[in-house]
Amino acid sequence: MIVDIINKKRLGEELTYNEIDKFFNAYLDGNIKDYQMSALLMAICINGMTDEEVFALTKVFIDSGEVLDFDGIIDTMVDKHSTGGIGDKTTLVIAPIVASCGVPVVKMSGRGLGYTGGTIDKLESIKGYRTDLTDEEIIAQIKKIGIVVTGQTADLVPMDKVIYALRDVSGTVSSIPLIASSIMSKKIAGGADKILIDIKVGNGALLTTMEEAEELSRLMIEIGKIYQKEVKTIISDMNTPLGYCIGNALEVEEAMDILRGKEINNNLYDLCIELSTTMVSMGKGISKDEALEEVKNSLNKGRAYQKFLELVKAQGGNIEQLEVSDNILTIKADKNGTINKIDALEFGKLSVALGAGRVEKKDKIDFSVGIRLTKSIGDKVKIGDVLAKIYYHKKIDLPNIDTLFEII
Ligand code: URA
């Protein structure tokens, strides 16, 4: 009985593979109601899962759809995933860097929900850019230019699509077993041989403590072992927005600035170098020092930027048509001092209020709005200095400056 399975998890007992398989597949088939699945998800969120249960859940997720296979097309397929953050446009930067170093990249990304943005929304701010490539188109493009960044196909882990939507509205997004099986099932079904996970920690992330991040890391590495996939993790800060821009077209511009060597001195640049170096090292089986040299070379010689332009063109985009709103408000310092904090969560909320993100899945995004920070942590400021520019269309009440910045 359905209710017996919910009760078993409520009491903190271990579910069998068959129970997990039966329950989740019945939900996918429409034979279990949202409120019953929400009850089970909440019981999982509160009582956790054993490793065996997480392995079972991951398998049920993978088996719910197609599993892509790039054997004979790509020698070693390295994939990367971020658990999500504010201003996280790393994929736009690292995919072209890694591909230009000779490691093919097939990246299937998602949309943003809540305060965290999604790569697919950012790319759709480029007029004409297609994010719905078919399996055949993905294979043709990877053979031709060695890089694809597209949306997840409908058949890739369909179970995750329905469960994630329900988690989002049932307060069960930050469960470590649910995050691990959601992400790992998509990476494994997507055909990755090696996987790099960027686990974000901080007030703008799903996880807020190092202990949680380390537990998620351990669990993902264990799942990888079962499928003979090498998994590496990086734990990175999400108390401060990543880079200067939050909002779709603005983030594409910022990614291009890094690829053109215009911006090389901030948390975004450092993380992009670390992620791409690790991916190149994993993909080519070379040391991180050697990989770093290749990454820097590709950036300095403009190869990574050229690869980005090639990607945009191949997927039908016109990079000249990137629209950023002309309506600009500024946030100015109200005292002299040093910037001690730029609050990721508050900026995430502000970007959603402007229309750059979604509150609900059906919401339409305004690609041209967002925020450009003009100062970083540690910068000295005087009263009246501009700290951030707000690109808007609809009028909103700006939050109090003290919630966004701490100046000491
Ligand atoms: N990203 C995912 O794809 N799934 C999660 O559960 C959390 C972040």
Q: Are residues 328 and 306 in the same domain?
A: no
CATH classification at residue 356: 3.90.1170.30
Q: Which of 387, 317, 372 is nearest to 89 (CA)?
A: 372
Name the residue with the closest Cα to ligand 1, atom 3: 183
CATH classification at residue 34: 1.20.970.10
Q: Hey, which of 160, 170, 233 would you mutate to test ligand 1's pocket, going by the most ligand atoms within 8 Å of its Cβ? A: 160
What does the mean pLDDT of the chain come to? 96
- 175, 182, 351, 368: the active-site residue: 182
Catalytic residue status for 185: no
> Is 142 inside any structural domain?
yes
Name the residue with the closest Cα to ligand 1, atom 7: 179
Range of lowest pLDDT (170-174, 261-265, 351-355): 261-265
> Is 71 inside any structural domain?
no
Q: Are residues 279 and 384 in the same domain?
A: no
In sequence order, what are the beta bridge partners of 147? 105
pTM: 0.95
Give the domain-ending residue among 320, 352, 374.
Answer: 320
Number of domains in the chain: 3
Please give the distance, rounded to the nearest whole angstrom, from the Cα atom of residue 159 to the centre of ligand 1. 13
Give the domain-ending residue among 282, 302, 320.
Answer: 320
Residues 6 or more apart in contact with residue 401 via CB below 8 angstroms: 331, 333, 334, 387
Q: What is the DSSP letter of 113?
A: B
Please give the distance, rounded to the nearest whole angstrom, from the Cα atom of residue 106 to the centre of ligand 1. 18
Name the residue with the closest Cα to ligand 1, atom 8: 83
Q: Are 255 and 89 in contact (CB under 8 A)?
A: yes
Is pLDDT of 115 > 90?
A: no
Is pLDDT of 114 > 90?
A: no
Q: Are residues 346 and 211 in the same domain?
A: no
Q: Are residues 261 and 362 in the same domain?
A: no
Name the residue range of residue 372's domain: 323-407
Q: Are residues 278 and 386 in the same domain?
A: no
Percentage of residues of the chain with pLDDT beyond 70: 100
Supply the pLDDT for residue 205.
95
193-227 pLDDT, tens per residue? 999 999 999 999 999 999 999 999 999 999 999 99
Catalytic residue status for 81: yes
> Is 73 inside any structural domain?
no
Supply the pLDDT for residue 180.
98
Give the domain-ending residue among 284, 299, 320.
Answer: 320
Quick one: average pLDDT of 22-46?
A: 97
Name the residue with the closest Cα to ligand 1, atom 6: 179
Is pLDDT of 277 > 80?
A: yes
> Is 63 inside any structural domain?
no
Catalytic residue status for 160: yes
Range of lowest pLDDT (146-150, 185-189, 262-266, 391-395): 262-266
> Helices (H) and strands (E) in the chain — how many of each?
16, 12
d(CA 393, CA 323): 12
Quick one: average pLDDT of 124-152?
A: 96
Q: Hey, which of 120, 183, 185 would you mutate to test ligand 1's pocket, going by the most ligand atoms within 8 Å of its Cβ? A: 183
